[in-house]
Structure 1
Amino acid sequence: MNGLAKALQLTHVSEDPKIPDDVWEQFVRDSERDIRDSAPKEPSARAREVTERLRRQEARGELPEGWRTGPAWQQKKSRRGLWSVLAVVVAAGVAVVAVKPSLVPGDPFGARTSSEAASSPLPQETTAPTAAPSAEPSQIPTLDDPFAGSPAKRWADGAAGIAVPKAKPVGGRSAAKVEQALELTKKLLVESNLDPATLRGERPRAALDVLDPLQKDVRGILETGLRKPDEKHDPLWMFSRFDPEEVRPVGDVVKTRGRMTFKAGDHASVAVHADYTFVYPVVQTNGSTEVTRTIIRRILDVEISDPAKYQVTPGKLTVVNWDQDINNSACEVYDGYLHPSFSSSDPTGPDPTGPTSDPYDRSKPLDTDRDKSCGTVSRV
């Protein structure tokens, strides 16, 4: 009974409103009584005397053959009765677990569905993936579920997807300097691609403040692009901006995935490399409920150099390289805004002539000599 009691403890049902405590307790008491009543007992003196007399009669041939059939059947019936009671108790426990499996620790029946596993968050990206994400079931994004049908549904939300690696000294620069470079890089990415004001097309002041004002070529391009954008001065090279009169974000979540690394730079510096993809769900401001997504992959290489050796501003980032792959936005439109394509609206800009690509494929580098003509995407 001890072993049975321990097993029953795993399936206690006091938490289940379908089985009142008093009913369950009465059931357990009745079951224990039945087990005690059916258990073998020590025979009395009278019973031992009768048994011995019958044995002597059997030895003298005074009893008919097969006389034990009755008692043997009774004995077998009693054992079957014992196991029947045990079976009822165990069956009741199994039934309770079936109704409420959460009472048993862990997940003994593999209750987690494949759909739940498919929607669980991905771990942080630490190395370059070897292939594009697998195809998702075809689903139409909605206002309630703007990432439906997208691999990004399992990506981290916003800044949570920009994980800063653990800092350590490199190239004669202390761990503290490395950490400073990493945190400033994250701030630049967040303020350039996730800040709600930046996304609404406002001036990205916090992002610009991270950049070294002494690097006049980079600051000049960006400042001119924000003030008077054109093909040679495009703020979209660094900032994600939507025309607030044309579209608005769906919800407040931008999905983010990528990684950040660092090494010793060439200018007595800490060099940081960032490779991140951002997915923006948007809807038109004309009252339509059609949801579409713009996907942007950004590559950023920055440094913090030793101000004792180079003419730099302490605590500011120097941009060494940047690149971007913008998908589902009008090509050859240089007004400083992203223009997502909607199936219910006429396209903006020229028809695409370039290759078809998967905007979620992070396994391939953004080669500088790649075809940058206006192309199409295999999915959004």
Structure 2
Amino acid sequence: MSDKPAEDSSSTPEVPDDVWEQFARANEQAAPKEPSARARMVTERLRQQEARGELPEGWRTGPAGQGKKRGRGVWKALGVLLAVAVAVVAIKPSLLPGDPFGSGSGSAGEATETLPAETAAPSGPPASAAPRTPTLDDPFAGSPAERWADGEAGIVVPEAKAVGGRSKADVASALELTRKLLIDANLDPATLRGERPETALDVLEPHQNVPGFLKKALSKPDKKHDPLVMFSRFDPAEARLVGDVVKTRGRMTFKAGEGAAVAVHADYTFVYPVVRTDGTTDVARTIVRRVLDLELSDPAKYRVTPGRIGVVKYDQDIGNSACDVYDGFLHPHFPSAEPTGAAPTGPTTDPYDRSRDISDDKGCGTVSRT
């Protein structure tokens, strides 16, 4: 009789069925499978060919470059990314820093970025841009005004403050009246197509002779009564604005005037792209600079009308418009058309040069660029 105690089957732990099933499946997948009869035949044939030297070197491991398959996939992916990058840059070259294409004007994004508002008189004319022909789709191409503000956005009113005994509210009123005058006289679509600028006329002090002069000039223009001294107007039968954008640049300042008046000085240049109404697509640009001195007088000392402003002085410089034509309209010269009006007698000037004084300009001259 053996001294070894009998094994107690009840002490053996039972394995759950699901664990056994997982173990069986894993064991079946890991176990080597018996090759089929066809596989054994192919293997034997290859072994015999190898023994006779009929197979190329390295046939078991494949071509020498096969181990670089992953590398080729990586280079292929990089190639796709590079092609996408080239396409994106072609569409928007401003994504590249500097001026890699030698345009001389920085990236496209920099070239069209709007300039900050003018706060002081510039020291000289703006730099020349690369020569480009204006089109219906790009009427400011090749112009320094391409970076100027659009329309009313270019007329920035300075922060008002009390000055010369006049309150902050009085100064703010003078500045706003000046802004309304500039907008209606130079930017309003109705004014530009030759209609009567009623808002501008309503801003002016009626006790002055200026409103009466301008009303006569609008109704019966002639050499002595020219509405272009204050208003920008095109003959609707001859030309129309390209699009709805007029480029604007300038500044407005104020100070204490005589007799407790608020004196406002405004100096703005407007660039008008126009096309003839005869169906041609020739685009021309007329550049008009206006310098105005206005005053909001003290109603306690002078006979003035509330909500109106008086004109002390006005000067204008008109570039690319026919000389000695006094019908009340601007007449741009188009490259494909014969010049109209008298031959220019004044000097050649840069209409974009806002650093020069225009009050001493004599005669109708030519412009160095448009």
Q: TM-score band (shorter)?
A: 0.7 to 0.9
Using a 3 Å threshold, how does the CA distance of structure 1 residues 97 and 171 change in structure 2: closer, same or farther?
farther
Partner of 2:110: 117
Instruction: Indicate which of 170, 175, 178 corresponds to 1:177.
Output: 170
Partner of 1:152: 145
Correspondence 1:227 to 2:210: no
Secondary structure, aligned partner of 1:279: strand
4+ runs deviating over 6 angstroms:
95-102
Secondary structure, aligned partner of 1:244: coil
- Single out whichever of 263-272 and 293-302 deviates more from structure 2: 263-272
User: What are the Cα deviations for residues 13-38 of structure 1, in whole angstroms up to 9, with x where unaligned?
Assistant: xxxxxxxxxxxxxxxxxxxxxxxxxx
Using a 3 Å threshold, how does the CA distance of structure 1 residues 144 and 262 change in structure 2: closer, same or farther?
same
Correspondence 1:129 to 2:119: no
Partner of 1:270: 262
Partner of 1:338: 330
Correspondence 1:352 to 2:322: no
Q: CA deviation at 1:98?
A: 10
User: What are the Cα deviations for residues 176-213 of structure 1, in whole angstroms up to 9, with x where unaligned?
Assistant: 11111101100000000000000010010011000011
Partner of 1:376: 366
Amino acid at match of 1:115: A
Q: Distance in 2 between matches of 1:337 and 1:131?
A: 30
Partner of 1:302: 294
Q: Distance in 2 between matches of 1:303 and 1:97?
A: 63
Using a 3 Å threshold, how does the CA distance of structure 1 residues 111 and 326 change in structure 2: closer, same or farther?
closer
TM-score (norm 2): 0.73
Q: CA deviation at 1:115?
A: 2.6
Partner of 1:33: none
Q: CA deviation at 1:110?
A: 3.6
User: What are the Cα deviations for residues 261-295 of structure 1, in whole angstroms up to 9, with x where unaligned?
Assistant: 00001121111000000000000011110000000
* Aligned positions of 1:5-24 closer than 5 A: none
Using a 3 Å threshold, how does the CA distance of structure 1 residues 165 and 371 change in structure 2: closer, same or farther?
closer
Q: Distance in 2 between matches of 1:117 and 1:138?
A: 17
Instruction: Indicate which of 275, 287, 309 corresponds to 1:317.
Output: 309
* Aligned positions of 1:82-101 closer than 5 A: none
Amino acid at match of 1:186: R
Correspondence 1:237 to 2:229: yes
Q: Distance in 2 between matches of 1:266 and 1:323?
A: 21
Q: Distance in 1 between matches of 2:295 and 2:122?
A: 25
Instruction: Indicate which of 273, 276, 285 corresponds to 1:293.
Output: 285
Instruction: Indicate which of 358, 366, 372 corresponds to 2:358.
Output: 366
Q: Distance in 2 between matches of 1:108 and 1:248?
A: 36
Using a 3 Å threshold, how does the CA distance of structure 1 residues 366 and 108 change in structure 2: closer, same or farther?
closer
Correspondence 1:198 to 2:191: yes
Q: Distance in 2 between matches of 1:238 and 1:162?
A: 16
Does structure 1 conserve the Cα–Cα contact (< 8 Å) formed by 2:114 and 2:148?
yes
Amino acid at match of 1:123: P
Amino acid at match of 2:170: K
* Aligned positions of 1:67-82 closer than 5 A: none
Q: CA deviation at 1:100?
A: 7.0
Partner of 2:5: none
* Aligned positions of 1:15-54 closer than 5 A: none
- Give 5+ residue unaligned stretches, structure 1: 1-88
Q: Distance in 2 between matches of 1:344 and 1:136?
A: 22
Q: CA deviation at 1:220?
A: 1.7
Q: Distance in 1 between matches of 2:152 and 2:137?
A: 21
Partner of 1:39: none
Secondary structure, aligned partner of 2:268: strand
User: What are the Cα deviations for residues 197-250 of structure 1, in whole angstroms up to 9, with x where unaligned?
Assistant: 0001001001100001111x2112101100101111110000000000000100
Partner of 1:256: 248
Q: Distance in 1 between matches of 2:128 and 2:187?
A: 26
Partner of 2:182: 189
Does structure 2 conserve the Cα–Cα contact (< 8 Å) formed by 1:358 and 1:378?
yes
Amino acid at match of 1:374: C
Does structure 1 conserve the Cα–Cα contact (< 8 Å) formed by 2:145 and 2:247?
yes
Q: Distance in 1 between matches of 2:196 and 2:275?
A: 22
Q: Distance in 2 between matches of 1:97 and 1:212?
A: 66
Does structure 2 conserve the Cα–Cα contact (< 8 Å) formed by 1:221 and 1:234?
no
Q: Distance in 2 between matches of 1:277 and 1:226?
A: 22
Whichever of the two has the greater Rg, that structure is 2
Does structure 2 conserve the Cα–Cα contact (< 8 Å) formed by 1:304 and 1:315?
no
Correspondence 1:211 to 2:201: no
| Matched-pair identity in % | 66
Partner of 1:143: 136
Q: Distance in 1 between matches of 2:327 and 2:307?
A: 32
